[in-house]
Structure 1
Amino acid sequence: MQLLIIVKPSVKKQAVKHVNWLKKICKIKNIECKTIKTTGNFEYDLSKIKVSALNSQIAVAIGGDGTINLAVNGLMQSRCSLAILPCGTGNDFARGFNCTAKQWQDAVFNAPAQQIDIGLVNTRYFINIAGVGFDAHVINKLSCVQNLSAWLYSWTSFKALFKYQASTLEGVFLNKTYTYKNLITVFANHQYFGGGLKIAPKAKIDDGLLECYQMPAGNLFNNLASFIKLIFKRHHAISTLTYSQLDTAHIKTPNLIIEADGELVGVTPALVTIKKHALAFHKPIKKRLQ
């Protein structure tokens, strides 16, 4: 058996602890262990992961949502399952499971792999959420920042909202064409995005559907009100919001920035789909209190 470690080099002590713990357990269990340290060059890292995944049974992604996204894209054409040890800035995908670091560690070797859904926007897979609009705009502004903190993400988002110029979006959702000034349009496979905003409380990673939120832009007051409602999980009450569950959507408008799992992944036009039960994932086992 071979275990593949995919880790973002980090000054965070938690990442180092996770790597050392994995290597220790692999030695005890007599499991071959291979480590890939990401470089920030997506295509280069992706090619290395794809090759190593062919000879590995389990891949463990250590880092944040971006590292997990890289791992997902590298594993999709293999039989290698995915486990994660979250230690990033937002950890939005992991946040939806409400698990401790110990529970994530236990899942690597003890939780059976379950088939989960994976989203696809054009040629880029995503495990959590993809979006077009203000969320992508903020990520673009922060793309050159090293060692991003949750506080800096929130502060940049707040400031950016005052100057954000919404673009008109035309797209096909559930076979119906919509045209609107777009604040955010997101496709959610899981619940959280934006460093802890629970935008999709009904999202499930194994139901074969994406939760789609089309939130039109208004004036500054309306945009602020929409985000306040989102922060307090009241956004389903926004009168202009269009919410749906779908397996395919098509954004026709060109040159809108796309983000997926907190990473910039290209521009529109975009075809967004869901691949049902496409990846084996080691979901933590949460024991019920007796």
Structure 2
Amino acid sequence: MWLYKECEKRQIRFDVFITTGNFAVDCAAIAKLAKPHKRVVVIGGDGTLHLTVNALINTECSLALLPQGTGNDFARGFSCNISDWQESVFSQSDELIDIGQINNRYFINIAGIGFDAYVVKALQDKPAMSSFGYSFAGFKHLLSYKPRRLVGNFAGQAVSQINLITVFANHRYFGGGLAIAPKAQLNNGLLDCYAMNARGSFANLYRFLRLLLRSHHSMKGLIYQQLNSAVITSEGLSIEADGELIGETPATIKVHPQALRFCIPVKGNKKAPNK
């Protein structure tokens, strides 16, 4: 593997950890193994990245990424190729970025309640094999999704609606390449919140198509705001974070500004997005 050979060539001592699928056990093991190191490199996708963020939060250890997953939604937001990511692994600098939190889980990309969590749950037994697979699963499960009322308070604004999807975004993409939050930034101390109400089956399909075409910002019934905290009081709604099913509402959401050191890749000679 390229990384192993590069570390040996640079005479950098490293440890290797292979995840087991048990979140609590893996999280504790990564946190312990990372203590003597200055940087952890994730070789994987959004799920492995999510796990590692939870292990490294509140530490001085920086995080680098070599995107090797199916969706790679967080990485997609930088529009960089693999050589750019490889370069960032050994960069002498890193930047403090914001990290979101929903209940007891931290997230680096996006947390969602509603249809997205429903699709994540449906894909647990049969994961998508490509980014297209996520979009196809969205179409497939949209007609069977039964929306429920979401009640909460988003940065002082009362919200009560039949929920199609509500996301809290720290970065731009989710669901295998859907640009749900094109304005989101990693270092502004805010999450971009999109709350889309549900209507009839065909209207919901139309809304999903608008999302695919990146024209959802102008949709009627869409609540968009930037916030640093939110509370959802409805019970029993599934929650996903960084593409991982993590629990159910009620939920408390907040952002931790500049909470993690991350090696942001640079595309060519230009600064990466969110700089």
Bin the TM-score by the shorter chain. over 0.9
Unaligned runs of 5+ in 2: 271-275
1:146 deviates by 5.0
Equivalent residue, structure 2, for 1:268 = 249
One-letter identity of the residue aligned with 1:133: G
Q: Contact conserved, 2:210 with 2:216, CA < 8 A, in 1?
A: yes
Q: Contact conserved, 2:121 with 2:245, CA < 8 A, in 1?
A: yes
SS in 2 for 1:207: coil
Equivalent residue, structure 1, for 2:273 = none
Select which of 36, 51, 74 maps to 1:55. Answer: 36
Query: Number of residues paired by the alignment?
Result: 270
Select which of 12, 15, 23 maps to 2:4. Answer: 23
Equivalent residue, structure 2, for 1:189 = 170
1:43 deviates by 0.8
Select which of 72, 89, 109 maps to 1:91. Answer: 72
Equivalent residue, structure 2, for 1:5 = none
Select which of 132, 145, 167 maps to 2:126. Answer: 145
Deviates most, 152-161 or 51-60: 152-161
Select which of 222, 246, 256 maps to 1:241. Answer: 222
Select which of 63, 81, 87 maps to 1:106. Answer: 87
Select which of 170, 177, 188 maps to 1:207. Answer: 188
Judging changes above 3 Å, is the alpha-carbon distance between structure 1 residues 40 and 249 closer, same or farther for their aligned structure 2 residues?
same
1:224 lines up with 2:205 in the alignment: yes
Q: TM-score, normalised by structure 2?
A: 0.95
Equivalent residue, structure 1, for 2:48 = 67
Post-superposition Cα deviations, 1:202-257, rounded to whole Å, max 9, x if no partner, equal 10000000000000000012101111111111101111000000000001001111
Higher strand share: 1
Percent of aligned pairs sharing the same letter? 49
SS in 2 for 1:51: helix
SS in 2 for 1:265: strand
Where does structure 1 differ by over 6 angstroms across 4 or more consecutive aligned residues?
none
Which is bigger in relative contact order (C-alpha 8 A, separation at least 6)? 2
Q: Contact conserved, 2:132 with 2:176, CA < 8 A, in 1?
A: no
Q: TM-score, normalised by structure 1?
A: 0.91
Equivalent residue, structure 2, for 1:258 = 239
Judging changes above 3 Å, is the alpha-carbon distance between structure 1 residues 288 and 22 closer, same or farther for their aligned structure 2 residues?
closer
Unaligned runs of 5+ in 1: 1-19
One-letter identity of the residue aligned with 1:82: L
SS in 2 for 1:110: coil
SS in 2 for 1:117: strand
Equivalent residue, structure 1, for 2:260 = 279
Aligned mates of 1:111, 1:154 — CA distance in 2: 37
Select which of 172, 188, 191 maps to 2:153. Answer: 172
Q: Contact conserved, 2:115 with 2:164, CA < 8 A, in 1?
A: yes
